[in-house]
Structures are given as C-alpha cells and as structure tokens.
Structure 1
Amino acid sequence: MNMILSSSTLIFPLVTVPYVSRVLQPYGTGAVAFAQSAMTYFSLVALLGISSYGVRACAEIREDKVLLSQTVKELLVILVCSTSAVTLIYIGCIFLVPQFRAQKTLFLIFGVGLWLSAFGVEWLYQALEQYGYITIRNIIIKIICLVAMFIFVRSRSDYIIYGAIVVVAGYGANICNILRLRKLVDFSIKTKLNITRHFKPMSLFFVASVSSGMYVQADTFILGLMGTTSMVGLYQLVVKIKGTLITVVNSVGNVMLPRLSYYNTHKKSDQAGVLVAKTLNFAYLLSLVLVCWCMLEQKGIILILGGPEYAKAGVALMLISPSIALSSLNSTLGYYMASVKKEKTWAIINLVGLGSAIISNVCLIHFFGIAGAAMSAVLCELIVFVIRLYNNKKFIRTIVKYLEIIKTTLCVAVAAIVTFIISSYIEIDDILLNFLNDSVIYFCVILLALIVSKEYFVCQIINKYLKRSTK
C-alpha cells in the first residue's frame, strides 16, 4: 500500500510540475518553495520529534487499548503547547524578517499548514500499520488538489493560490486523521496523564528530527537568504525531483520503524536483521537506478518538467542525484537506530549533519550558486552516511551476507554504459521522444541484467507472478 502511495506521490509532480513551472515561472515557484521551506523549519520544532517518537511509542503498546489511548492523549497535550508557542514566533518572524514580510500572505497561508502538520497524528496510523487508509486518503486529496490547480492557477500572479493548494495537498488529509481519531483512541477512558514521562526519550527524537529536517531543507532555505527568488525557483525544481524520487525509494523503509519496534520489543532480533537487510537492498537498488537515470537524462528531465526557462538547473540535478541513494540509505539506518533505542547517537549524528549543511551551503552557494547548493546536499548526506555506517558496523557485519551491493552495482553500471553508447548513436531531435527512447533502453537493460544475475527482489516478483498465472 505504501508503494501505491509513493507512486501517487511520483505521478502528482509529474502532472503538476510541468504546468506550474510554465505558468508561474521561476519567481512564483521560488516564492512558494521558500515559504514552504521556512514553514517546515518551524513545523519540525513544533512537532518535537513526535513524528518519529510517536511511531515507536505507540507501536510498542498497540495491543493495549487503555495504555495506547493514554499515550496518544499525552502526546496531543504536548503538541498543543509546543505548536502554540512556535506559532507566536512564526507570526513574529513574518513581520520582522524582510524576506518573510515581502510574502506575508503566502507565509500566513503556510502557517495553517503548521497546525495541520502538528495535529495530523500520522505517527499513530503508522504505528498501527493502517497503510490502506493512509493511501486512499492521500490519493483522494491529491486528486482534488490536482483539479483545483488546473482551475485556479492560470497566470503568474496566482502563486499565492498555488501555495494554498500546496498546503492542502501536503496536509489537508490530516483533517481526516483528526476526525477519525475517536475510532482508534478511547477518550472516555479516565486515566491520569503522565506527560513528563515522555520528555527524556522525546528530547532525543526532537534533536534528531529537527536537525535531520533542517539539514535536508538547508540548501533551499540558505539559497533563499543568500540568492534571489529566481535562483530558488530554478533550484526548487531540482529539489522537487529529488524529493519525489526519494519518497518512492523510501516507500518500503517508511513502513519499517513500527515493525522493527515490535520485533525488538518481543526479542525477535533475527527477524529484525533480515528486515533491515531487505530494506537496504531494495533502497540501494532502486535509488542507484534512479541516480544513474538522472545523470544520463538530466537535460530531458529538466526541459520536460520545467521548460526552457529552467535549462540552467540541469547541472544541479546531475550534481544532486547521488543524494537520492545516500538519503535513502541514511533513512533506513536511522529507522534501525530508533528501533533499538540508539536515539542519542542518532541525534548527535544528525546534529553533525546540520552543522556540515550550514557550513557547506554558505561556502558553496557563495561561489557556485544553485550548483553549490546541490553539491552541499550530497556532501552533507555523505558525511551522515559514513558516520552512521561506522556507528552500526557491528550490526552491518551480521547482515552483510544478505546484502547484494556488488551485484546491484554491476547491473546498473552495465545498463548505464549500454544506454550511453546506444544514445550516442541514436539521436532524436524531439526532446520528449529522445528522452523516452533513452529511458526505455535504460530500464529494459537493467531489468534484463537483474534477471540474468538472479537479483532477489526481481526473482521474488517473477516467482509470485508465475505462481498466480499457473493457478
């Protein structure tokens, strides 16, 4: 179900980005991207790490209705207090910070998203593994927003309307979560709330979540402060492509935390190790395929999704593409660390990532503009990945026999080389046809190489299909 949800997340930008990029131009898309990036910073603080901590805390007790209801009520009280305080600071910044004040209406609209993101209780639905509901709800909201975008966003001046649609598309489904909450939580149960018991474990999740979210958003935010709105407009297309592809890759990893927490609570370490290994294999395979595809087809991807006005963003897309693989592997290792209660180390590593992101972005953006922001994103993810890998080296040794890194790398490398050679001989003038031709060749060669090498996931899918067809 999460794969279906991720596929919808991929399809939505494929439909909206080409239209929005051409209608709003770099200035309009840049203004929305900067406001969204700034709001995300405030949202991370308001959530206090509950988006991750809540998943683990609720997954461990999901079979005890009384304790689960008490935990959810306690976390909601904490969120009311934190979000109220953060909102006051956010409103103050709108009137005091020049870059915020210049787009006051847009920032106020995203302020609504601040509250919706805080009270979406997505962590509870993930802990209970209700992915069917999450998927259907998100797809319906995205379809509504897609129709609204084509109806109401018609000129360059409509970027504020587009910002409102972005808020609804991103957080509107959380209203459904709130309305449905009584089906999962019994608010009538009279238990004494013990809010303080969450502060110590939650504080580490808070540091980890805030620093992680901030270093991921640092490139766009710092570019907005140091560069121009048009530069942010060019770069936001690159970030949107990267973010969409990372979401697809993480579709499996995102469902791992509640199951890992359950395994570790019930002393099923062997099953947990196999699950992490499978997730790492899937993340590495899919992300490496997409990294090479972005490098080979960066020109076609940018021109098709953005148009000629975004042609300068092609180099940035090629430079930032390795972060797709690094980010996905980082997420998987991060979920493992959270499930085994290594959140202190997780938090420290993310703080290092945030520090490296700020320093590298300030230095590289000054000299290289949007290309510097792209290089900084990769450098930051690489630093975090190396530290996480070193910190979990003992665990990695126990699952290395399940990993297929060499086989996957060779298959993708062969496909990339074959595609590059063929495309150099077959050049089609039409950008779209040339892009489709190269992409079909690339993915067909990869599929063939994976079948020949008997890669685990491909073999599993083929075997399941053959079993169904023979019934």
Structure 2
Amino acid sequence: MKVIKNYLYNAGYQILLMLAPVITTPYVSRVLGAHNNGINTYTNGWVTFFYLVGQLGITLYGNREIAYQRENKYKRSKSFFEIVSLQLMTSTIALVAYLIAVFLFSSAFKVYFLLQALWIVAYGIDISWYFMGLEDFKKTVTRNTIVKIISILLIFVLVRNENDLSKYIFLLGFAQLAGSATLWPYLKNSIEWVSIKEWRPFHHFYPTLLLFVPTITTQIYLVVNRIMLGRMAPQAAVSQFDFGDKIVKLVLAVVTATGTVMLPHIANKFTSGDIKGVRKSLYKSFDFVTAVSIPMMFGLMAIANKFAPWFLGSQYGPTGSVIFYEAPAILMIAWSNVTGIQYLMPIHREHEYTISVTIGAVVNVVANLFFISLYGADGAAIATVISEFSVTAVQLFYIKGTIRRRQLFGPIWRYLLSGIFMYLVISRINSVISMKITNLLLEVTLGIAIYIIGLFITKAPIINQAKALLKK
C-alpha cells in the first residue's frame, strides 16, 4: 500500500502540473505571442545543458543510494552530506561556466539568458532525491504544490503583455529555486551531523558521472530539436513545437510518475535479495503503464487538430499536427520508463541503460536533420517518436535474458483494440462538433467509457489489478 500511496501523491502532483498549463498556457501563449515564447524555449534549452552538468547524475544516484541505506541513519546521513557537497561544487562550476559563455558568446537575448541562470542555482540546491530515496513523497509533493500555485497566481498578476517576457522567465526560474529551498528544513529530524573529516564526496563522483551520461544524452533529444528548430526555422515554429511537445509530455507525466516511485522501491527489494519481487513489480508496472498510456495516446490524436488552436490561440494551428505526430511517443516513453528507470537502473545495469539512451540521442539528431528540413515542427515531432522507439527497442533487447517478453506484451492487443475503437469514435465525433469546454469534457468522458468497456469485453489484466486494489 505504501507504493500505491506514493504513486497517488506523485500522480496527484503530476495532475497539478497538467492543470497548471491548462490555466496558464492559453493566457501566456496569447499575451507573449509565438515569437516571445520561442525565445523563452530557445534560451531555456541552452541553460538546461548547464544545470544538468551541475547535477551530474545525482538525482538518480542519490535517490538510489539513500534507498540502499534507508535503515541506517548514520550511513544515510554520511551519504547525504557527501552527495550534496559534491552537488554544490559541480553546480557552482556549471554556473560560472554558463555566465562566462553568456558574456562571451551571447549578443542577442543576453538578458533572457542571464535570467535563465536561476535554474542552475535551483537544481544546485535541490535535495528532493533524498526524500524520494526514503519513499517520502508527501514532503516533495506538498512543497511543489504550494510553490506551483503561488507561481501561477504571480504569472497572472505580473505578466500582462509581450514586454513582460523577462518577468515570465524570472518567475519560472524563481519558482523552481523557491521549491528547492523549502525542502531543507525537513532534514532536521531525518539526518544526524557527520564530521566533515569523514566526508568523501569524490567517492561518489565516478558513479554519478556514469549516470550523468544517460541523463545528458536523454536531454539531448529532449532539447536539441528545439535548438535545431531555432536555427532551421522561424522562432514561431519553435514555440508551436514546444507547446505541442509540452502537452504530450504533461499527459505522459501521469504515467511516468510510476518510475519516480518504483525506483527506490525496486532498489530496496534488490538490496534485500528479493529478485522474484523485483520481476513481479516489473510485470505489474508494465501492464499498468500500457493500460494508461494507450488511451492517452489515442485520445490526444483524436482531438489534436481542433484542440490546439482553441486552447493556445490562432497562431498555434500547426501545433495540432505536432501533437498528432508526437502522441505515439507516450507509449514508447511509458515502456522505456519501466524497462530503464524501474528495472535496469535499480539493479546496477546502468551501462545498458546508457547505451540505449545514447543510441536514442544519435538517432534523434540524425532524424532531426532530415525531418526538420522537410517538415519543420512536424518533423521534430516525428524525430522524437523515432528516437523514443529506438531507446525502447534497445532496452527490450537487453532484458530478453532475464524478463519474459511474452509476459510483458501478451495482453497488449486487448489495450490496443480498445484504444483504436475509442479513437475511431472520438475522432468522428470531433470532426462534426465544435471545440468548446463542454464538448471537450463530453469527448473525454465518452472516450474513457468506451475504453473501459473495451477492457471488460477483452478481459484485460488491468481489470483484475483494479479489483484487487479496491478490495485493499
């Protein structure tokens, strides 16, 4: 039940993350315009690389290490001080390098680049990995929820026209910084002081560096398409792709919330030698994310073309096709989240995970060069799907000797059949009715009902999981 409770905390926060753009995105997209939103996306894409360098692979590594030493307060505290001191050192180096790069190489958008530096500071002091390792998601979710609500209110109060781009960038960065800072007081009763003489921060450098490689390569194919679009297409195309990508990824966040919860849970099982429990958790998690991601994928595809200009504004008509073409990435990322984050990472098979995401990054760059030149923002969406498919395929190849893939994929036809039927019905309805809030709610409700009926008819395994959960 602890895993379920943690998932509900995390999924609840991911739903808040989904609702926040529902509130702010239509406002920001219209007030700032496509050009200014493109500038924010472009400058934030560059700062992302620097704060990732500052963090190395500490978010994943720290989460896992704390999970391993959860029951020993002294060892847990020692690891915390060592890892956080390493994080502060590397983040300081990243911040200095970023500022030097901005002053030396940035002629346009310099003010916006400088405001984006808040993200490096925010991630430099972020210790959410510690509480995730303890499987204490209540603290991180509560903290993030309060900060998110305040930042939403400030956006409406302070961002009033297209000249307020700098305020918008500052608010986003400051909200992240405030969220990171508010976790520190919770450490008081959770750790004990360990003498600085006993700290060995560089003992953790090599393993965090190993996890940094997949982290940075993952970000390459999350960010490089925006940077390449910024170089190969108008700034408006960057924001049109960015908003489409964000809508897809926000829907996906409800599914990938399982990865954040399951990593420390499986790491703890692995440490205690419960290999059978690890595999059982994997099969259940894979079935769950498949059951949830397929209707989300087909649902977005069914409403995309009318939803985008209605939700974002007339400037974002092309975003509808971006959402349509990128929606299959929801299923690919859901699967790789289970095989990679929930399985390969906790059982110390990081090198295989690294190889898979590195291949995905290379595929993404090559696909972007080809498809962006031909199809612009739509090309970047297609390249995203291709790269995510390559990551999933490589990971499935690596786990073939330890996991029964037939057991993983056996029930999928049931979910696909239900999802395709739902898509055909909702797509037809969407083509004949106008897009407004009441009609959208009707389509969503009807789509959920059709999908669930399909699951009962095909006797999908998720139905039995749901019944067991309700009995508990």
Please tell me the residue identity of whatever aligns with 2:451: I
Please tell me the residue identity of whatever aligns with 2:308: I
Residues 269 and 275 in structure 2, CA contact (< 8 A), matched pair in contact too: yes
2:234 maps to 1:228: yes
Q: CA RMSD in A?
A: 2.0
Deviation at 1:444, TM superposition (A): 1.5
Moved more, 194-203 or 150-159: 194-203
Pick one of 29, 52, 61 that aligns with 1:53: 61
Moved more, 411-420 or 370-379: 411-420
Please tell me the residue identity of whatever aligns with 1:362: L
Pick one of 440, 443, 446 that aligns with 1:438: 443
Distance in 2 between residues matched to 1:122 and 1:457, nearest whole Å: 31
2:377 maps to 1:370: yes
Residues 300 and 432 in structure 1, CA contact (< 8 A), matched pair in contact too: no
Moved more, 405-414 or 305-314: 405-414
What residue number does 2:344 align with? Answer: 337
What residue number does 1:120 align with? Answer: 126
Please tell me the residue identity of whatever aligns with 2:54: A
Residues 300 and 431 in structure 1, CA contact (< 8 A), matched pair in contact too: no
- What TM-score, normalized by structure 2, do the two folds share? 0.93
2:40 maps to 1:35: no
2:364 maps to 1:351: no
2:191 maps to 1:185: yes
Moved more, 219-228 or 202-211: 219-228
Residues 63 and 133 in structure 2, CA contact (< 8 A), matched pair in contact too: yes
Please tell me the residue identity of whatever aligns with 1:317: I
Distance in 1 between residues matched to 2:184 and 2:48, nearest whole Å: 20
Pick one of 246, 270, 284 that aligns with 2:290: 284
Residues 78 and 194 in structure 2, CA contact (< 8 A), matched pair in contact too: no
Pick one of 20, 40, 46 that aligns with 1:12: 20
The percentage of aligned residue pairs carrying the same residue is: 24
2:327 maps to 1:324: no
Distance in 2 between residues matched to 1:175 and 1:148, nearest whole Å: 19
- What TM-score, normalized by structure 1, do the two folds share? 0.93
Residues 45 and 227 in structure 2, CA contact (< 8 A), matched pair in contact too: yes
What residue number does 1:211 align with? Answer: 217
What residue number does 1:405 align with? Answer: 412
Mark the runs of 5 or more structure 1 residues left unpaired by the alignment.
none
SS of 2:317 mapped into structure 1: helix
What residue number does 1:159 align with? Answer: 165
2:101 maps to 1:86: no
Residues 53 and 202 in structure 1, CA contact (< 8 A), matched pair in contact too: yes
Distance in 1 between residues matched to 2:177 and 2:364, nearest whole Å: 27
Residues 316 and 370 in structure 1, CA contact (< 8 A), matched pair in contact too: yes
Pick one of 302, 309, 315 that aligns with 2:315: 309
2:252 maps to 1:243: no
2:206 maps to 1:200: yes
Distance in 2 between residues matched to 1:462 and 1:364, nearest whole Å: 45
Distance in 1 between residues matched to 2:467 and 2:310, nearest whole Å: 33
Distance in 1 between residues matched to 2:458 and 2:272, nearest whole Å: 36
Deviation at 1:180, TM superposition (A): 2.8
Q: Judging changes above 3 Å, is the alpha-carbon distance between structure 1 residues 401 and 40 closer, same or farther for their aligned structure 2 residues? A: closer
What residue number does 2:388 align with? Answer: 381
Residues 303 and 430 in structure 2, CA contact (< 8 A), matched pair in contact too: no
Please tell me the residue identity of whatever aligns with 1:70: K
Pick one of 3, 10, 13 that aligns with 1:2: 10
Aligned pair count reads 463
Distance in 2 between residues matched to 1:273 and 1:464, nearest whole Å: 19
Residues 118 and 177 in structure 2, CA contact (< 8 A), matched pair in contact too: no
Deviation at 1:463, TM superposition (A): 5.8
Deviation at 1:138, TM superposition (A): 1.0
Pick one of 74, 78, 82 that aligns with 1:74: 82
Residues 26 and 233 in structure 1, CA contact (< 8 A), matched pair in contact too: yes
